[in-house]
Amino acid sequence: MENQPLPPSTHSTERPILSKTEINALFVSSLSDVYNMKTHLVRLIPELVKRASYQGLKQAILSTGLHLDAQLLRIDFIFKYLKYESNFRPKPLLGSLNVRDYLFSNVGELNTYQLDYIIINHLLTIEQLEIAQFKVLLTLAKGVYHKQIYSMIKLCLQDAIKEKRTFELLSKTYSL
């Protein structure tokens, strides 16, 4: 296929401005995605603890479960404040983010430390996604919602950053 000329650019140089309704829809959609990821992960905590072999990892997973519960409560409050229901809607989590499929498809071929390392890296990936989502949510919430909603999202972001650091430190224990 030969190189064909690109069509003229349709990109505007004007800064896009979202209405409050559009921001609200985007905010609720993004927050729902985070809620779904966290709810899915909370349900897997017992299985992750059971599969992990390193005691430090088991404790980090349990600690993450406590942070997840606190974040879910904050998100529930935000949904109630905005008069939305936060019912968990199971859906595929971006393919390889389906924890059970990702972690346990080839378990038989891995030693316990390899499995621990996979668990750590998977949880680290999820935390990184959550951090990115919370940053977007902070941007959307600023100036549009009540300060308490902004503060709760900020607390969730801080929790996710702490969890990411924990898993980064744990991953270093498995390095040479």
Is 29 a member of any domain? yes
- The region, left, alpha or beta by phi > 0 then psi within -120 to 50, assigned to residue 132 is alpha
Check residue 93 and give its pLDDT: 44
> What DSSP state is assigned to residue 109?
G
User: Are 49 and 93 in contact, with CB atoms under 8 Å apart?
Assistant: no
Give the total number of structural domains in the chain. Answer: 1
Per-residue pLDDT, 10: 54
Contact (CB, 8 A) for 120 and 58:
no
Which pLDDT does position 40 carry in this prediction? 83
Q: Which one-letter DSSP state was computed for residue 97?
A: G
Residue linked to tokens 């349990």: 62
Range of the domain at 77: 20-81+109-173
pLDDT of residue 88: 46
Tens of each residue's pLDDT in the chain, 176 residues: 455 555 555 555 666 666 777 777 778 878 887 888 888 888 888 988 998 888 999 999 999 899 899 999 999 999 888 887 655 444 444 444 555 665 555 555 666 667 787 788 788 888 999 999 999 999 988 877 888 999 999 999 999 999 999 989 888 876 64
pLDDT at 146: 81
What is the phi/psi pair of residue 154, to 5°? -65, -40
Give me the pLDDT at residue 89, please.
47
Domain presence at residue 38: yes
Decide: helix, strand or coil at residue 144: coil
The CATH number for 30's domain is: 1.20.1260.10
Residue labelled with tokens 């390899």 = 114
